[in-house]
Structure 1
Amino acid sequence: MNEVGRRKKQVTIVALVTALCLLGDSMLYITLPIFYEQVGLQSLWEVGLLLSINRFVRIPMNPLVGFMYRKFQLKTGLYIAVVLAVITTVGYGIGTGLFIWVLLRLLWGIAWSFLRLGGFFTILHASTDRNRGENMGRYNGLYRLGSLGGMIGGGVLVSMIGFQPTVIAFGLSMVIGIPLVYKGITKNPSQNLVVTPEITPKKKVFFGLTCKAITTITSGMILAFLIQGMFNSSISLVMVMHFGEEISLYRWTIGITALAGTLQGVRWLWEPYLAVRLGRVSDGEQGRLPLFLLALVVSAMGFVFIPIPLPLAIWLGMILFVMAASTTLTTLVDALTSDEAQGQDANRLMTIYSVFLDLGAAMGPLVSYFLFSIGGTVVHVFNGAAVVFMMLFVYWSAIYFQTKKEQHKASINV
């Protein structure tokens, strides 16, 4: 196997290890609201707390994990992540009471920080300008298979063997991640993986980052807020508003929550293929921005139509287009940020990026439901989001045309 193939294999292995570790966490989103009394919880607000607290702990933990990755090998961090994932997931099956579960969810948040930053650093090490988007798409697409397996497989297994046996089985299966890391990840020191030559001082703007880097980080936070936070947390609410709590398809009656989960599952099914293809296209001569700008426009239009009552088939088709645009945006903003990591302190940049991604994703549901609680309608919230998408489009269009202008001048000078 040549060097390019070997590095691509490392990205695949880290993505699959991450997918394994996601099984238990993803399963909780569909099972814990139903079986919370079995684990000693008293009310649904405790469920909401537990499903969100892991995001908030990552905000202060990401800088610490990034610092730790400077000091030891990448595979050491992945070992820590797998061990924590095993402990927390098995703990879901034997721990009871709110206090124990808060500790377990905090530990899972730390595990995810190691996994996510480890994935970013692996991609930086494994990629060049010709395949960085493809590798980012491969990583994002493959690790989401863990979410798919956790939700669908978890839901089926819980109905067959119960909640506790299922999460314990998931937790024990994650042990497979240890030999995968041992065999598949080289012993490159993390310092060599994540730190590249510093940029010139005159280009530094904030925390040693360039203006362009700050732009990509901010855009990533906004997109995480809109897609991972607002859209994912409120789409079932919109569906209930349009179609009621149940819909009839031919002779079948389907609950809206089940349909919303199926839609999310469809996205995770296509991501291993679509994200890789999108990343590969963005590595080409035209670059990432044309596709990124198109996805922003599609998202803006989709968010305008989401609150509008339409026939079910048309509305679902439109949602699938929005979700495809979301795959495009998340893949490309990750790749754009990774591009900016070349030539400066990549550890610092990707750590800060992870912090702001988690902040955006955590704030999305809170802000959305706060607006709903003070009288905001779905139309107001989603139309406001569409305006934000268009603001990003205008800003990135200016960057695109400025870049084209500079490239044209450089070609003339040559």
Structure 2
Amino acid sequence: MSPTKEQKKAVTVVSLITALCLLGDSMLYVALPIYYQQVGLASLWEVGLILSINRFIRIPVNPIVGWAYRKLSLRVGLVISVILAVITTIGYGVGYGLVIWLVLRILWGIAWSFLRLGGFLLVVGISNDSNRGENIGRYNGLYRLGSLGGMLGGGILAAVIGFEWTAILFGISMLAGIPIVLHAIPKNVLTTSTDEPMIKQPNIKMKPAHKTVAVILSGMVIAFLIQGVFSSSISLVMADHFGDELFLIGLTVGVTALAGILQGVRWLWEPYLAKKFGEWSDGDRGRLPLYIGSLIVSMIGFLLIPIQFSIFIWVGLALILMTASTALTTIGDALTADVAKSGDANRVLTIYTVFLDVGAALGPLFIYGSLSIGLSLQQAFSLSAALFLLLVVYWVVAYRKVDFVY
């Protein structure tokens, strides 16, 4: 059964509010490495710290936000997140110096925890077994438009009107999110229902606690590999293969620019593909066949990405890998929502977000740590592919234990 109009509206509103709040954060990834001296940062290592501290702070903050959502309505939590996003984004335009920027990024980490967990709780609360994947896909796909808008729009505006005014403009635009939340999100949204029977997903012959551990650990490993290892090293791999600049179709293109375009293409297709992957996983065949197939494609992709092909073949492989990544992220979230719906949704989703952040934070440390001790890119990616293989083996065994179609 497809989501109702009311469900689609609620998911769409929360997704677009999240996208709006992401504008400032995403803008930093393309603009701050260029304009960092204007805001009082002394070196690029400080830029790296600024861009990563918000993720590390979420590890201890997520449980606190989960507790807060037991006391507060979803609407209040989202208003808090929008206010924090406005403060931090305007702060990017007026703040100066490392200490101020660390405070701003810590506040953004708190804002993102409220946004992400609130969105998860909303989707779990209003969905059932026949449309949960589609709602997860709609949410994931739409909120990533904020990343696309922040990187593209932020990069262009920073060059035209300046970094500071771009941040202030984005921050002011986020104020529109407050009345939208108050108008479109009801006071009471079901977020912790435990009385809906599990009709189809996931019906594996293992204890509920084992299911929960399995999907959470799998999500952490996938975040480690995709958001951590691949996303943080794609420019490095391209530079290793093709140098710092490429000559394509009569134009000279920087590797970092091309890497950014590739990431932007993924965010452009996510509103459609993430929803479709979620919808397909809601079907009669269930989630696991598509999940396992995406794991296999990702494993092969990690083995091939470090190998030097022509630029067109390599970009094609990268796009296939990113398509599989969209599927894995969407279906992994849907699997977690499945087990969360049958228990304490707040607790399960809080733990899940913590483990996702841990995995994503450890990925860059692994890839660059491996290279620093003398491993090659091929060796580091082969080790990563081995983790995909372990996931494939585990979920194939789980699929064989299903009572009926998963």
Whether TM-score is above 0.5 comes out as yes
1:241 aligns with 2:243: no
The match for 1:253 is 252
The match for 1:315 is 314
User: Which residue, out of 192, 195, 200, partners 1:194?
Assistant: 192
CA distance in structure 1 between the aligned counterparts of 2:219 and 2:297, rounded to whole angstroms:
17
Runs of 4+ off more than 2 Å: 194-199
Aligned residues: 395
1:292 aligns with 2:303: no
1:401 aligns with 2:397: no
CA 1:130/1:209 → structure 2, altered by over 3 Å: closer, same or farther? closer
Alignment of 1:170-189 (within 5 A): 170-188=170-188
The match for 2:327 is 328
Q: Which digits, 9 at most, give the CA deviation of each residue in 1:168-202, with x for residues without a partner?
A: 0001101111111111111116xx42252599xxx
Alignment of 1:47-62 (within 5 A): 47-62=47-62
Q: Which digits, 9 at most, give the CA deviation of each residue in 1:305-350, with x for residues without a partner?
A: 0011101101100100000000000000000000001221111000
CA 1:301/1:53 → structure 2, altered by over 3 Å: closer, same or farther? same
CA distance in structure 2 between the aligned counterparts of 1:261 and 1:325, rounded to whole angstroms:
18
CA distance in structure 1 between the aligned counterparts of 2:196 and 2:147, rounded to whole angstroms:
37
CA 1:57/1:168 → structure 2, altered by over 3 Å: closer, same or farther? same
1:262 deviation in Å? 0.1
CA distance in structure 1 between the aligned counterparts of 2:208 and 2:399, rounded to whole angstroms:
20
- Structure 1 range deviating more: 178-187 or 43-52: 178-187
CA distance in structure 1 between the aligned counterparts of 2:8 and 2:144, rounded to whole angstroms:
18
CA distance in structure 2 between the aligned counterparts of 1:112 and 1:197, rounded to whole angstroms:
29
> In structure 2, what residue type is equivalent to 1:326?
S
Return 5+ residue gaps in structure 1 as ranges: 200-207, 409-414
Partners of 1:56 and 1:362 within 8 A in 2: yes
CA distance in structure 2 between the aligned counterparts of 1:342 and 1:238, rounded to whole angstroms:
40
Partners of 1:120 and 1:350 within 8 A in 2: yes
CA distance in structure 2 between the aligned counterparts of 1:95 and 1:319, rounded to whole angstroms:
37
Alignment of 1:88-99 (within 5 A): 88-99=88-99
Alignment of 1:82-121 (within 5 A): 82-121=82-121
2:286 aligns to what SS in structure 1?
A: coil
Partners of 1:198 and 1:343 within 8 A in 2: yes
The match for 2:382 is 383
Alignment of 1:8-19 (within 5 A): 8-19=8-19
> In structure 1, what residue type is equivalent to 2:304?
F
The match for 2:391 is 392
1:236 deviation in Å? 0.4
2:247 aligns to what SS in structure 1?
A: strand
Partners of 1:92 and 1:104 within 8 A in 2: yes
The match for 2:300 is 301
Partners of 2:50 and 2:105 within 8 A in 1: yes
1:210 aligns to what SS in structure 2?
A: helix
1:250 deviation in Å? 2.1
CA distance in structure 1 between the aligned counterparts of 2:55 and 2:382, rounded to whole angstroms:
26
CA distance in structure 1 between the aligned counterparts of 2:72 and 2:27, rounded to whole angstroms:
32
The match for 1:230 is 229
1:361 aligns with 2:356: no
CA distance in structure 2 between the aligned counterparts of 1:303 and 1:3, rounded to whole angstroms:
35
1:128 aligns to what SS in structure 2?
A: coil
The match for 2:347 is 348
CA distance in structure 1 between the aligned counterparts of 2:168 and 2:106, rounded to whole angstroms:
18
> In structure 2, what residue type is equivalent to 1:146?
G
1:63 aligns with 2:63: yes
The match for 2:279 is 280
1:257 deviation in Å? 0.2
CA distance in structure 1 between the aligned counterparts of 2:110 and 2:326, rounded to whole angstroms:
25
TM-score by length of 2: 0.95
